[in-house]
Amino acid sequence: MSSPLDRAAAEALDAADPLAAFVDEFERPAGVIYLNGNSLGPAPKAALTRVAEAARQEWATDLITSWNKAGWFDLPYRLGDRLAGLIGAGPGEVVLTDGTGLNLYRVVSAALALRPDRRVIVMEGSNFPTNNYVVQGLVQSLGQGHQIRFAELDDLAAAIDDDVAAVVLTHAHYKSAHVLNMTGLTAKAHAHGALAIWDLCHSAGALEVDLNGCDADFAVGCTYKYLNGGPGSPAFLFVATRHQATATQPMTGWWGHDAPFAFERDYRPATGIGRMLTGTQPILSLVATEAGIDMIARAGTGAIRAKSLALGQLFQSLMGERLSDAGFILTSPAHPNDRGGHIAFDHASGYPIMKALIARGVIGDFRAPATLRFGFAPLHLRFVDVWDAVDRLAGIIHQGVWRDPAYAAVDAVT
Amino acid sequence: MSSPLDRAAAEALDAADPLAAFVDEFERPAGVIYLNGNSLGPAPKAALTRVAEAARQEWATDLITSWNKAGWFDLPYRLGDRLAGLIGAGPGEVVLTDGTGLNLYRVVSAALALRPDRRVIVMEGSNFPTNNYVVQGLVQSLGQGHQIRFAELDDLAAAIDDDVAAVVLTHAHYKSAHVLNMTGLTAKAHAHGALAIWDLCHSAGALEVDLNGCDADFAVGCTYKYLNGGPGSPAFLFVATRHQATATQPMTGWWGHDAPFAFERDYRPATGIGRMLTGTQPILSLVATEAGIDMIARAGTGAIRAKSLALGQLFQSLMGERLSDAGFILTSPAHPNDRGGHIAFDHASGYPIMKALIARGVIGDFRAPATLRFGFAPLHLRFVDVWDAVDRLAGIIHQGVWRDPAYAAVDAVT
């Protein structure tokens, strides 16, 4: 009987995988094992077709008539409704527009205006720092003395008190993949009269997310990671129905006007989530998102999460078997249920190791000072990919390949 | 000797046109005369090639490595520098990012912060109203008692006094095409200690614009009209070098951080115009802009303006000859030098007339309540196109085609 960790075992897992067929719906460059879907998802073949069609038919051929013929005006709503089902939101609660940071600016503005007597915003300072930057910029612009109260992990709940206007938290940590208790922290915020804003960049399309089930107030997230929407594809924004009549945002523009084609002089906010929109959207990037969202919907987030955990467990087991004394320190939560779609290890020579690994076709990424991230987005990954990835990594470590000075040179973007 | 207004005369103008060859660089759908480049520019063939390449090579094949390999991080700067030359700006003064409204929000925020003791913003209320909406939203968010002082045309200069923090004006009017005196109004603003912010949506790529020549402080504009960047392609933003060390904007994000890949907890603005950026850009829509910018640069805005005026004058002459008593009232400035790239006529039955015209392949657009707009973006238009357009319009009017009830039905987007 073969060892459970040899390549044949991985092949057997693929043979039994109910999601195996999705792999062929992606472009998969030859020789590459892509463990970075947590940063930029790979391209669904249907997305490439759709972008080409939008460029050639909607732009080049139908020109301005595409506003009606191709339904450009409805795109943020229509795609938002499709995405809503993946994150526990209802129809009319989600739009796709602009970037995650801009959307965070909108919903935090809205939340602070809904809690005018409170001045504290709770955030996890170690999480993706652009969220800190966005809130810092907003606070400075408002000039009303708001303060960010930073706390981490188990200290977050205790940081929420009656002074808090909003908690602004990222569901799955960009670096460690630690998943916060969305239900518990939202309830804690509500118990103190605060609003809960969730950043789903590292969980939408990777985990089961139930915004309405846990009574979240606002949420944002990107579509270019686990949703495979393409580089910099427009982000999403969720406003719970109960807030839509009263939530306001400062970047008021024509697409969020109650009568967007009446060209009235003064702003009147659209009814519903439309008021969160500002102006014309990047159509080619926006249409690219539909294929990925559709694929996640067909697969189901439950099945996706199950396979992601299985891929991650295989990776972790193989790392333990083949590289247990090579200096890799698991910095993701030890228990799979506590982490999102990727696994992080620290290594003192993480940077050259990752560069050497990428040069051998296994693409993960590196976050300073020492973290290697490996993403397990299951629709485009096979179990044998995981096996082969660890095999290549073991080769690099055991042969000392990463010590080549070429791998020490720092790239512009890491 | 033939009449100067017969089709042969138009053919002769094409034969002598130094920009004639550019027409073949565009996709031109069969049977369509496109007089709406002032709303959505047509597709440069090179832009379609570039989008396909970015989708297939940069996204699908090179994946995350494209941040370095394809220079994604530098795109807002690199494209901004290319665009700068078309609007009288220098290197490092322009970036491409997000939408026009969001960029306007940024630069008006910056201007108000630079004039903390002043509370008045001068705007032309009749111009594209999303600019009003953006400033109204900002003013409300700031809660510091700023007021918009609306004025029109010749009354604008008188509206600028020592209470004014900033004038926020659109260079060429979206409806009438009236061109404001950028030099004079900027000087008037400066004489009163105010800052001048220009919206170039209807002038970048259509007219000669000299931001530094007239000492403008800030500017914004879209790339999807005369710059032919594709539907909703990212907008641009100009900050004069002298303001770059002190100008701040509230939507602070990682792309505008001084050390964007260091993942520091707190925001520190980038030196230079980079601080105007927030987050990840829609790459497919962003790369689409390069071909159009390149084409305008090769043609030169002087030659473009000259041909645009000639096309417009031909149109106006033909309208006078063939449709002088059909109820069309010129609402653009009578003198060509006073108007931008399009010509507007009011007509009591403007809506069904434009629909009937579009059904016959001549695409202009309609702005309520009665305005027909015809755009003369010269790189993709021939003089015979103008002749044929008026010929088709005359046919529709003289045969009463537009009275067909089918043309009365209002589309979702007008």
pLDDT tens digits, one per residue of B310-325:
999 999 999 999 999 9
**Using 50, 70 and 90 to split pLDDT, how confident is the model at A414?**
low
Count of beta carbons in the 10 Å neighbourhood of residue B6: 11
- Output the CA torsion B180→B182→B188→B189 (10° steps): 100
- The strands making up A342-346's β-sheet, listed across from edge to edge, are A329-330, A342-346, A371-375, A365-367
| Chain B residues with beta carbon closer than 8 angstroms to that of A262 | 368
Indicate if ipTM > 0.95: yes
Kindly tell me if the per-residue pLDDT of A4 is higher than 80. no
**CB spacing of A278 vs B102 below 8 angstroms:** yes
Mutual orientation of helices A301-322 and A289-299 as an angle, nearest 10°? 90
Q: How far apart are CA A16 and CA A9, in angstroms?
A: 11
**Using 50, 70 and 90 to split pLDDT, how confident is the model at A409?**
confident
User: Does residue B246 have a known ligand-binding role?
Assistant: no
**CB spacing of B129 vs A66 below 8 angstroms:** no
Residue with tokens 């960049």: A201
Distance from CA of B4 to the nearest CA of A (A): 32
**CB spacing of B282 vs A232 below 8 angstroms:** yes
Quick one: pLDDT at residue B1? Answer: 41
| Chain A residues with beta carbon closer than 8 angstroms to that of B141 | 109, 141-142, 250
Kindly write down the DSSP assignment for every residue of B266-307, as one continuous string.
S--BPSGGGGG--S---HHHHHTHHHHHHHHHHH-HHHHHHH
Quick one: pLDDT at residue A1? Answer: 41
CA atoms in the 13 A half-sphere facing the CB of B46 = 14
pLDDT tens digits, one per residue of A280-307:
999 999 999 999 999 999 999 999 999 9
- Catalytic status, residue A150: no
- Residue B231 CA: distances (Å) to CA of A76, A153, B225, B226: 14, 43, 9, 12
**Using 50, 70 and 90 to split pLDDT, how confident is the model at B412?**
low
Quick one: pLDDT at residue A305? Answer: 98
Quick one: pLDDT at residue A156? Answer: 98
pLDDT tens digits, one per residue of B365-398:
999 899 999 999 999 999 999 999 999 999 999 9
Kindly tell me if the per-residue pLDDT of B4 is higher than 90. no
Distance from CA of B289 to the nearest CA of A (A): 11
Quick one: pLDDT at residue A410? Answer: 81
Q: How far apart are CA A194 and CA B332, in angstroms?
A: 53
**Using 50, 70 and 90 to split pLDDT, how confident is the model at A108?**
very high
Quick one: pLDDT at residue B69? Answer: 94
Residue with tokens 């700023």: B146
- Catalytic status, residue A315: no
How is chain A split into domains, by residue range? 7-30+300-408, 48-298
**CB spacing of A413 vs B136 below 8 angstroms:** no
pLDDT tens digits, one per residue of B54-110:
999 999 999 999 999 999 999 999 999 999 999 999 999 999 999 999 999 999 999
pLDDT tens digits, one per residue of A50-78:
999 999 999 999 999 999 999 999 999 99
| Chain A residues with beta carbon closer than 8 angstroms to that of B52 | 51-52, 55
Q: Greatest CA span in chain A, whole angstroms?
A: 77
Quick one: pLDDT at residue B2? Answer: 45
CA nearest to A207, candidates A178, A239, A184: A178
| Bond preceding residue B129 cis, omega within 30 of 0 | no
Nearest CB neighbour to B59, from listed A141, A222, A231? A231
Residues 6+ apart with CB under 8 A from B334: none
Q: How far apart are CA B34 and CA B284, in angstroms?
A: 24
3-state DSSP assignment of residue A232? coil
- Catalytic status, residue B45: no
Mean pLDDT of A187-206: 98
Interface probe, candidates A138, A263, A372, A374, chain B, greatest B C-beta count within 10 A: A263
Q: How far apart are CA A79 and CA A89, in angstroms?
A: 13
Nearest CB neighbour to B284, from listed A144, A231, A252? A231
Distance from CA of A48 to the nearest CA of B (A): 6
Beta pairing, strands A164-170 & A362-363: unpaired
CATH number of A48-298: 3.40.640.10
Task: Say if domain B7-30+300-408 classifies as CATH 3.40.50.1970.
Answer: no
Quick one: pLDDT at residue B410? Answer: 81
**CB spacing of B224 vs A43 below 8 angstroms:** no
**CB spacing of B280 vs A142 below 8 angstroms:** no
Kindly tell me if the per-residue pLDDT of B200 is higher than 70. yes
Q: Name the residue with higher pLDDT: B68 or A412.
A: B68
Interface probe, candidates B33, B283, B373, chain A, greatest A C-beta count within 10 A: B283
Task: Report residue B138 as tokens.
Answer: 């900002």
Quick one: pLDDT at residue A2? Answer: 45
Interface probe, candidates A152, A251, A266, chain B, greatest B C-beta count within 10 A: A251
Q: How far apart are CA B252 and CA B370, in angstroms?
A: 42
Kindly write down the DSSP assignment for every residue of B297-357, as one continuous string.
HHH-HHHHHHHHHHHHHHHHHHHHHHSTTTT-EE-S-SSGGGB-SEEEEE-TTHHHHHHHH
Distance from CA of B133 to the nearest CA of A (A): 5
Q: How far apart are CA A142 and CA B328, in angstroms?
A: 49
- Catalytic status, residue B225: yes
- Catalytic status, residue A404: no
**CB spacing of A261 vs B413 below 8 angstroms:** yes
Count of beta carbons in the 10 Å neighbourhood of residue B362: 24
What's the helix, strand, coil split of chain B in %, to 5?
45, 15, 40
**CB spacing of B249 vs A137 below 8 angstroms:** yes
Mean pLDDT, chain A, integer: 96
pLDDT tens digits, one per residue of A38-48:
999 999 999 99
pLDDT tens digits, one per residue of A336-375:
999 999 999 999 999 999 999 999 999 999 998 999 999 9
Residues 6+ apart with CB under 8 A from A306: none
